[in-house]
Amino acid sequence: MAIDAQEPPRGWVPVEHRVLGLDRRTFAPALTVLVIALALIYGLPALNAAIPWHDEVRAGDVLDLGNGATAVPPVGWHLESGTLVGREQVDPIHLQALLASGGATVELRGAAFDGTAQAFLDQVERSQGDDVPGVDGSRATLTTDAGVVGVARSTTGPGGDGLDVAFKVAVGADGPAEAAPALLVRVRTAPGRFERYRGEVAALLRSITPEAGR
């Protein structure tokens, strides 16, 4: 005599796979989803907060230019790259720092250059002429509050407005020297927006201080 086997009801879970009435085979996928959700909710914000190159500049922050030279970045701007004083040692020859705010960026680059600030700016323009946004402006000298003298050149055009300032930042008490590390401050804004940031850029430039002036 044949016995008809009855199919288990839909959703039925064998006893060996049940824990407290739940299908334990679903635990691993559910746990994976939970871990991913927690990482998205809590992990990414914590990671962003821990990365210094996404810092928003706060009052009292000072940018390290190497060998004791410093600059004060504008409050509220974002430090995309670079090092604040007290975080790690900075080599002025390989300095790379970038500040950003809305439609403006300020890049600070260090280099080894045996010559004047004027000659350094000449070399920068020859090697990176394509980066100049438009119509050439006249050159002028700029002196920081600490007495560091730089050479500035502004540009404007359909691609945006710009300002390049070259310095020789001496180390020690003997003042600027041709063998001192060179510093280029490169400002770029959207077309017609430089005036909006002029005050903050000027304050940053005036704040550049060598070790001897601290």
* Helix, strand, coil share of the chain (percent; to 5): 30, 30, 40
> Torsion angle of alpha carbons 89, 91, 94, 97, nearest 10°?
50
Its pTM stands at 0.70
Separation CA 108–CA 165 (nearest Å):
10
Reported as a single tens digit per residue, the pLDDT across 141-198 is: 999 999 999 999 998 888 899 999 999 987 554 555 677 899 999 999 999 999 999 9
Reported as a single tens digit per residue, the pLDDT across 89-132 is: 899 999 999 999 998 999 999 999 999 999 999 999 888 764 55
pLDDT band at 70; cut points 50, 70, 90 = very high
Unique residue bearing structure tokens 């390049």: 164
How would you class 178 by CB atoms within 10 Å of its CB: exposed for 0-12, middle for 13-18, buried for 19 or more? middle
Q: What pLDDT, on a 0 to 100 scale, did the predictor assign at position 85? A: 93
Question: What is the CB neighbour count within 10 angstroms for residue 40?
Answer: 10
Cα angle at 89 between 88 and 92, to 5 degrees? 135
Helices and strands per DSSP (H, E), number in the chain: 4, 12
pLDDT band at 52; cut points 50, 70, 90 = very low
Report the chain's mean pLDDT, rounded to a whole number.
Answer: 80
Q: What pLDDT, on a 0 to 100 scale, did the predictor assign at position 57? A: 96
